[in-house]
């Protein structure tokens, strides 16, 4: 079981772009790239929804 958690922890530390079926950008510090992503999509008034657990 410890090995499983190590794999998950390694994945969480990576910066990843996942484009199927919807673009998902994940990883440490990715919030700083939100404005660029919004501009790429032509969004002017995006709605960002999150929860307290995502900041852990």
- Radius of gyration in angstroms for the set of CA atoms belonging to the chain, rounded to a whole number: 14
Q: Which of 17, 38, 37, 39 shows the shortest CA–CA distance to 26?
A: 17
Kindly list the distances between the CA atom of residue 29 and the CA atoms of 3, 4, 26, in Å, as whole numbers in the listed order: 25, 24, 9
pLDDT of amino acid 52: 79
1, pLDDT greater than 60 = no
What are the pLDDT digits (tens) for 16-55?
A: 776 677 777 888 888 898 899 889 889 999 888 877 776 6
Domain span at residue 7 reads: 2-42
CA dist 43 and 35 (Å) reads: 9
Please report where in the chains the tokens 């008034």 appear, as a residue: 45
Number of domains in the chain: 1
pLDDT of amino acid 30: 85
Q: Is 18 helix (H, G, I), strand (E, B) or coil?
A: strand
pTM equals 0.48
Tell whether 9 is covered by a domain.
yes
pLDDT of amino acid 6: 66
pLDDT of amino acid 23: 75
Tell whether 55 is covered by a domain.
no
């Amino acid at each position: 079981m410890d090995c499983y958690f190590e794999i998950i922890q390694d994945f969480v530390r990576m910066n990843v772009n996942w484009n199927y079926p919807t673009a998902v950008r994940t990883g440490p510090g990715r919030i700083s790239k939100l404005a660029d992503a919004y501009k790429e999509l032509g969004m002017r008034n995006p709605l960002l929804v999150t929860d307290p657990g995502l900041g852990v």
